[in-house]
Amino acid sequence: MSQSGKRALVTGGSGGIGAAICRRLGHDGHHVYVHAHRGAAAATAIAAEIAAQGGSAQPLCFDVTDEVSTRAALDSVLESGPIQILVNNAGVHDDAAFPGMSSNQWHRVIDVSIHGFYNVTQPLMLPMIRTRWGRIVNISSVSALIGNRGQVNYSAAKGALNAATKSLSREVANRGITVNAIAPGIIATGMSDGTFDAAAIESLVPMKRAGTPGEVAALAAFLVSDEAAYVTGQVISINGGMI
C-alpha cells in the first residue's frame, strides 16, 4: 500500500462493477476489503489478483441485510483502524410488473440497497469522522432518475439511496468527508446481459453501446481521490447519454 493509501471497503465487491472498483482502488494504492455475501470464492480470487499485481486486499464476507453479523464483521475490521473509503455497491434487482410484484420481491430489493446502506455505513461513520477525511460512494442507477418498467422496487430503492446521499453529505461536509452517488446506465455485466440485448442498447443509448465496469470504476476512483475533495452531495450518472 502506498503512503497515501487508505483502507477501503467495497460491498458487493465480487460482482462485475464491484470487482472493477476493487481492482482500480487496489491499483491506486489502497488496501481493499473485497466484500461478498454468497460469492466468497470470487472475493477471495479478486483479492488474490490485486495482491499478485502488487496491491493489498483481502476478502470479507457477510450479509449486508443482517445487522448483527454486519456489525460483528465491521467491528473486527475496525480493530485495525478506520475505513476511510466506502463504496456501497451491494444491490440486487428482482424485476416484475408492479401489479404482480410479490412482497418478497419488494422487500428483498429494498433490504439490500437501503437497509444494507445503513447497516454498513452507520458503524463506520464515527471512526471515519475522527480522521477528518473520508469518501463514501453509493452505487445507484439510472432507473432511480428516469424510472424503468418492471423495476418499481429497484427504482424506489436507488432513489432512496440518492436522497440518503444528499442528506448525509450535508451532515459530514465540515468533517472532510464527501458523500456522492454514481448512477450507472446499461453496463456490460452479468446482471445486465440477460436484460438488454443489442437492439435494446441501440435504441436506448445514444452512444449505441453498453458502458464498461472499468468506466464506472474510473469515476469511483476520481470521487475517492483528493482531487474530488470539493465534490459532495452529487448523483452523477454514467449512461452514454440516456439522459
**Active-site residue among 33, 118, 154, 230?**
154
Per-residue pLDDT band at 190 (split at 50, 70, 90): confident
Share of the chain above pLDDT 90, in %: 92
Per-residue pLDDT band at 197 (split at 50, 70, 90): confident
Query: For residue range 36-79, what is the model confidence (pLDDT) as tens digits?
Result: 999 999 999 999 999 999 999 999 999 999 999 999 999 999 99
Q: Report which of 166, 82, 80 is spatially closest to residue 132, judged by C-alpha positions.
A: 82
Show the domains of the chain with their CATH numbers.
7-238 (3.40.50.720)
What's CA 27's distance to the chain center, in Å? 18
Active site residue 118: no
Q: Is the pLDDT of residue 3 over 60?
A: no
The DSSP secondary-structure symbol of 112 reads: I
Query: For residue range 94-123, what is the model confidence (pLDDT) as tens digits?
Result: 999 999 999 999 999 999 999 999 999 999
Average pLDDT, the chain: 95
pLDDT at 195: 67
Mean pLDDT, rounded, for 152-163 = 98
Joined together, the cell numbers standing for residue 126 give: 464515527
d(CA 8, CA 98): 37
Share of the chain above pLDDT 70, in %: 97
Joined together, the cell numbers standing for residue 18 give: 464491484
